Amino acid sequence: MSDPAFEGNLASRAIGALPMKTANFRSIAEGLNGRALAEPLLEAAMQRYSRPRPPAPEVVIAFGLDTAYLPHAGVVLASLLANAPGAKFRFLVVHDGISPQARSTFERCAEGHKFDWLEIKSSSVLAMPGQRHISRAGYYRLMLSELAPPDIDRVLYLDADLVVMGDIRELYATDLGEHAIGAVCDVGMDGEAFAGRFQLQPRRLGYFNSGVLLMDLTKLRASDDLSKVITVLETRIGDMEYGDQCALNVVFWSRWKRLDILWNVQRRMLMRQEGKPCYATAAEMRKGRRPKIIHFTEHNKPWSTDGWHPLIWTYYRYLKKTPYRAQVLKLGEVHFIKDLRRRIKTIFNWYRLQA
């Protein structure tokens, strides 16, 4: 003899275990032993599975750009999206006057995602000169706590000379603890010597690279630390070998979160015998592990006329996904023979440096 209550409860459990559309509940319920489930039970099950899923958390990425670096930042966008399927991005672009047409072209690199164009109209950073291979636009990140919309409390700042190879959501979710910024050490800078120049507490690998910065804007707004960085630049620009990167290190010395080094794999990590010092050991650089961000540090960029790098192919892979390919190839004077020579040079030097 059947027990309707028992069978109804058993059926509800079976249905509850299936992640199906609510439209299918009634037909399945009515087909069980030829009888329908009790209406309250059916309605509860339908409500359970008809609730909309919470929206995916937004990942906020920031750039400091001028028109010249838009094509290369487009490569960053293409690599970001390719390696974070389904992510919802919001891009903050701090600039000093990029035209609407140039903005529209850039946004084509990440269609369907939100862009905020934050123009600097009055700030001392506009009067600061670039240094060496560092564009003045690199200073624009110092305006993020002031220009970013108030509803944004966390942002990941990225330079335009890198390629993302991992899912950036992993980095974005990093717990900064008590710190306002997170970064990766710069293996090309002697942190202890830097500390000595600025009367700071010596710390091995204590100097960070500012090309990848995870920033807690709530803490930065409360402390006004980025304004302090601008003040250091204004008063000691001649002492800042790497511009605002040095100034950031002076202000945040020993007050930054160390990120996984694979999120900022710099040139000297790959080419230790290139004739330039590297202050990290192979173990510290996690040799043999796949980079999550390849940072084309120093002056020899992938788009340079003589550019070479063992991972240069990653830049050109994602360049194909942007509207800028023809422009960049023309800028670098790239043609078939030159591209072939560069490939041979890259391979030859890669094996020579690893010997």
Which CATH number does the domain housing residue 281 bear? 3.90.550.10
């960070």: which residue's tokens? 208
Of 157, 155, 209, the closest CA to residue 187 belongs to 209
What's residue 71's pLDDT? Answer: 97
What's residue 11's pLDDT? Answer: 46
| Mean pLDDT (whole number) for 329-337 | 74
- For residues 171 and 292, give the distance between their C-alpha atoms in angstroms, rounded to a whole number: 9
Considering only residues 314 and 310, tell me which one the structure prediction assigns the higher pLDDT: 314
Q: Decide if 236 is inside a domain.
A: yes
Burial class (CB in 10 A: 0-12, 13-18, 19+), 102: middle
Domain of 226 in residue numbering reads as 55-354
- For residues 303 and 291, give the distance between their C-alpha atoms in angstroms, rounded to a whole number: 20
pTM for the full predicted model: 0.80
Q: Decide if 29 is inside a domain.
A: no
Q: Decide if 14 is inside a domain.
A: no
- 348, pLDDT greater than 80: no
- 339, pLDDT greater than 90: no
In the chain, at which residue ranges do the beta strands (DSSP E only) sit?
Answer: 58-64, 88-95, 114-119, 154-158, 162-164, 181-185, 208-216, 257-258, 293-295
Give the tokens for residue 17.
């275990």
pLDDT in tens, 145-189: 999 999 999 999 999 999 999 999 999 999 999 999 999 999 999
Strands 154-158 and 208-216: antiparallel
| Mean pLDDT (whole number) for 91-107 | 97
Q: Within 198-282, where are the H helices? A: 217-223, 225-236, 244-251, 267-270
What's residue 58's pLDDT? Answer: 94
Q: How confident is the model at residue 94 (pLDDT cuts 50, 70, 90)?
A: very high
Q: Are 195 and 201 in contact (CB under 8 A)?
A: yes
Q: Are 240 and 246 in contact (CB under 8 A)?
A: yes
What's residue 352's pLDDT? Answer: 61
Of 257, 276, 274, 253, the closest CA to residue 199 belongs to 253
Q: How confident is the model at residue 24 (pLDDT cuts 50, 70, 90)?
A: low
Percentage of the chain beyond pLDDT 90 is 57
Q: Decide if 335 is inside a domain.
A: yes
What's residue 246's pLDDT? Answer: 94
Q: Decide if 8 is inside a domain.
A: no
3-state secondary structure of 275: coil
Q: Decide if 256 is inside a domain.
A: yes
C-alpha 293, offset from chain centre: 8
Strands 114-119 and 181-185: unpaired
Percentage of the chain beyond pLDDT 70 is 76
Of 286, 291, 280, the closest CA to residue 186 belongs to 280
| Mean pLDDT (whole number) for 228-252 | 91
Of 96-100, 178-182, 187-191, 286-290, the least confident: 286-290
Contacts of 219 (CB under 8 A, 6+ apart): 179, 180
- For residues 127 and 236, give the distance between their C-alpha atoms in angstroms, rounded to a whole number: 14
Give the tokens for residue 208.
């960070």
Number of domains in the chain: 1
Q: How confident is the model at residue 14 (pLDDT cuts 50, 70, 90)?
A: very low
What's residue 137's pLDDT? Answer: 73
What's residue 250's pLDDT? Answer: 97
What's residue 25's pLDDT? Answer: 44
Q: Decide if 268 is inside a domain.
A: yes
pLDDT in tens, 100-133: 999 999 999 999 999 999 999 866 665 565 555 5
C-alpha 13, offset from chain centre: 44
Half-sphere exposure of 126 (CA within 13 A, CB side): 9
The torsion angles phi and psi of 240, rounded to 5 degrees, stand at -95, 90
Q: Are 179 and 216 in contact (CB under 8 A)?
A: yes
- 227, pLDDT greater than 70: yes
What's residue 127's pLDDT? Answer: 56
- 91, pLDDT greater than 50: yes
Beta bridge partners of 214: 156, 182
Q: Are 231 and 156 in contact (CB under 8 A)?
A: no
pLDDT in tens, 197-210: 999 999 999 999 99
- For residues 100 and 199, give the distance between their C-alpha atoms in angstroms, rounded to a whole number: 46
Considering only residues 282 and 257, tell me which one the structure prediction assigns the higher pLDDT: 257
